[in-house]
Structure 1
Amino acid sequence: MRARFISGTLATALLVAATIVNVPPATAVKAPAIISLGDSYISGEAGRWRGNGNYPYGSRYGTDLAAYNCNRAETSCSYDPKLIYGTSAAECDRSIGAEITHVEKVRVNREVFRITPVNRLNIACSGATTTDVTKNSFKGEAPQVQQLRNYASSRDIKLVVLSIGGNDIGFGDIIKSCVTAFTLYYYCNTSLAGPVKQRITALYPKVRDTVRAVQDVMRNAGYRNGSYRMVVQSYPVPMPAGKDNRYPETYKQRFEEGGCPIYNVDADWARNDVLPDLASTIRRAAGATAAEYLELRNALEGHEVCAKGVSQSNSGDTLGHPHAKRNSEWIRWIGGLAQGYVQESLHPNAYGQEQLGACLGHMASRSKNTFDCRIGSV
């Protein structure tokens, strides 16, 4: 009797073991994610700053989010840019408040996916060109499409957002030339207009091919058309029209006080010619690749550096009680006025990135192939 019991138990155990061996392993569920690629305007450059405050010490009137260990009056602080940019400080400058971090959900076809903060991925890098996205190692990192390939296999990517082209046309050098022109009393647009126009014309195939390279990575990773969204965005205008600049065209007021040392005619040229031409080129590239397009030129209108109707932070503002967003500049001033990195100049600051994130979030949560984001539309 005992022998039969042992034999039956053993047979049952063997049967169970055989059944377990033949059960296919459970498929791991990938978390839905979103990811940003490209350059400084989406990496989060200037995210260290919440407005602009013309004071060299302490929390800079409550604008320096890298300030810590401040005294009670916030006239003396320690600084650590890594609090905002992490290990990418002084390199890619991926800020903790970058555009992508503000997007909470994405609609793909009729389904809405909630995106947790840890799955709002940012591999964009300040200074990147189209070839740094597609081919080159840059600032010690693999090409961005290679990084995307790794994330595409470990996450369920639902939204890819790309900002690219500004460094290909040398936008930073254009700004430097116009600042130099201001200090030496001549206009930069007279010599730059022709060459910049040519650079923008040459940019179209570069942006188009970059979008295609991103789409190829997604396709090769097993993503079908329609299983995720691809958005290409333009650039926000960083300075107001000349007539809307609140500072006279003097060195003391535009350079030392305002941080916008560019003549009205040069600012108008950038606003009315360069950025519209650049946006048109990016939009054409998006259309040629069936990507979606996010127009951001007017997204920060009225809150550009030195714009009338807003102001810098002042001595009554602190980290705990900052200058109100609605009254602040959303673009980092030029040169930093002895604060932070020069490369942060004319980029959306923490307030600006929050607003651009609202633009992207509005588009992502709705079925929109194009969206022209403006103040009041989000």
Structure 2
Amino acid sequence: MSRSLHGRRRPARAALTTPLTTAALALVAGLLTAVAPVVTASPAAADGPGVGAPYVVTLGDSYISGEAGRWAGSSNDSSTRADALGPTAYFDNAAGTGETIVRCHRSKSAEAFIGGGVLGKNLACSGATTATTNGEYFKPGLDFADLGGGKIGQAKALQQFAAANNVKMVVVSIGGNDFNFGSIVSTCVANFLSSPSWWKDYCYDDSSVTANFTTSNVTAVRAKIAGALVNVRTAMRNAGYSDSSWTLLAQTYPSPIPKASGFRYSQSGYTRQSTGGCGFWDADADWANDYALATINSTVRAAATQSGVSNIKILELASAFNGRRLCETGVGLYEEKGLASWTSTGAVDKTEWVNQIRTVSTCCSSSPYYIQESLHPNYWAQLATRSCVRQAYNGGVTRGGACRISGTGLSGGEPRMILQ
């Protein structure tokens, strides 16, 4: 608060013979104020670049927004067994009464919130691509779109937030939806359910799937991702940051299902989907791991290089959930493992970290499930990734690396992970 300090007058040498009038007193006070030295305290600096508590900001799609972060494992008997966060899991508005953007599904378990004196801001949105779209649901991309009514792209949202807060690291997951990830999964499951085991209809050779992995499309998606990363840098520069004062951490995508040899359900019959929620033929599962995931992740890495962003590091997630993937041998549904709920001892090690692919169970308004939660990192996986993001932040000296499971049980409420 500003204040003025007035100098003291020396005692008068002789008493005044007549009292000062009110007007005279005001004149004297004014003269003293005019000649006295004035010391003004500087106002408290507003938070912004380099000032205030440090923030980690997350941008991108469903694999970083926290999609499926409500569910800790799966159960076909009762949703309550796996319900870690309840029906308000995705409520992120200031009042905690709903979503800031409907269906962005920014869950409370999302990786942005690493703690330890570091604040988190989740600007990612489930279903987002590199560019903003405005269909049935508004999906902000990593651009500067402004459609009015508060509908702005994630890059613009980052710029506004970073100008008023001290952002030290921006974590990005983007590109999967530019490869039409959701459509590919739907095709694979549909082919599994609609063809018999003696005449399998694979998805990996369907034209609607292969079109996403042509040389020309991979090149185009790489350019889109690179442009999105440049937009992040531009947003930070516009907000007043030098490139050396913050780090961009670009993350790759994890494997959600095992290869053929790792499934606990046979591909014969419909058990993989009806029980496990993982309706892929063996050949499609191998292709998904060996080719599709590998291509998407190599494209993300290549885009990071192409972007020319100097302060970028890579968080490798491809193998982060291995051993805990959907339908993988060694883990199972709560009823399969004899566990009462997600709070049971050992639940984090015995249940899956990837959400089931759900179909008919999402049909009704009374269902607690969303079809968009399918095949996404669940509560356990969100916390596991958060641990690796914290290790990547590294006390402000950011580093990249590969995120992997390092042990059993929980540490500080999170799965035990290591960044190598």
TM-score over 0.5 for the pair: yes
Opposite residue 365 of structure 1, the aligned amino acid is N
Change (3 A) 1:40 1:27: same
Q: Any unmatched runs of 5+ in structure 2?
A: 1-14, 93-97, 132-140, 196-200, 362-367, 407-417
Please state if 1:144 is matched with 2:154: yes
Q: Distance in 1 between matches of 2:259 and 2:400?
A: 25
Structure 1 stretch displaced more, 343-352 or 220-229: 220-229
Which residue of 1 is the match for residue 384 of structure 2?
Answer: 355
- CA RMSD in angstroms comes to 2.7
Higher helix share: 1
8 Å CA contact 1:65–1:84 kept in 2: the answer is: no
Identity among equivalent positions (%) equals 33
Which residue of 2 is the match for residue 303 of structure 1?
Answer: 324
Which residue of 1 is the match for residue 142 of structure 2?
Answer: 133
Q: CA deviation at 1:252?
A: 3.3
Please state if 1:104 is matched with 2:122: no
Please state if 1:14 is matched with 2:33: yes
Aligned residue runs from structure 1 range 264-279, under 5 A: 264-279=282-297
Q: Distance in 1 between matches of 2:387 and 2:320?
A: 10
8 Å CA contact 1:313–1:323 kept in 2: the answer is: no
Aligned residue runs from structure 1 range 128-277, under 5 A: 128-131=128-131, 132-136=141-145, 141-185=151-195, 186-192=201-207, 194-198=210-214, 199-277=217-295
Opposite residue 160 of structure 1, the aligned amino acid is V
Aligned residue runs from structure 1 range 325-364, under 5 A: 325-335=348-358, 338=361, 340-364=369-393
Change (3 A) 1:188 1:16: farther
Equivalent position SS for 2:127 = coil
Change (3 A) 1:141 1:317: farther
Equivalent position SS for 2:232 = helix
8 Å CA contact 1:47–1:98 kept in 2: the answer is: yes
Change (3 A) 1:187 1:208: same
The structure 2 residue matched to 1:321, chosen from 319, 323, 344, is: 344
Q: Distance in 1 between matches of 2:405 and 2:46?
A: 42
Structure 1 stretch displaced more, 155-164 or 362-371: 362-371
Q: Distance in 2 between matches of 1:255 and 1:189?
A: 18
Aligned length: 349
Which residue of 1 is the match for residue 81 of structure 2?
Answer: 62
Q: Distance in 1 between matches of 2:190 and 2:178?
A: 21
Q: CA deviation at 1:318?
A: 3.0
Which gives a bigger RCO, structure 1 or 2 (Cα 8 Å, sep 6+)? 1
Find the structure with the greater CA-based Rg: 2
Q: Distance in 2 between matches of 1:63 and 1:229?
A: 35
- Normalised by the length of structure 2, the TM-score is 0.76
- Normalised by the length of structure 1, the TM-score is 0.84
Q: Distance in 1 between matches of 2:264 and 2:188?
A: 19
Change (3 A) 1:66 1:152: closer
Opposite residue 169 of structure 2, the aligned amino acid is L
Opposite residue 330 of structure 2, the aligned amino acid is G
Equivalent position SS for 2:334 = coil
Aligned residue runs from structure 1 range 115-130, under 5 A: 115=118, 119-130=119-130
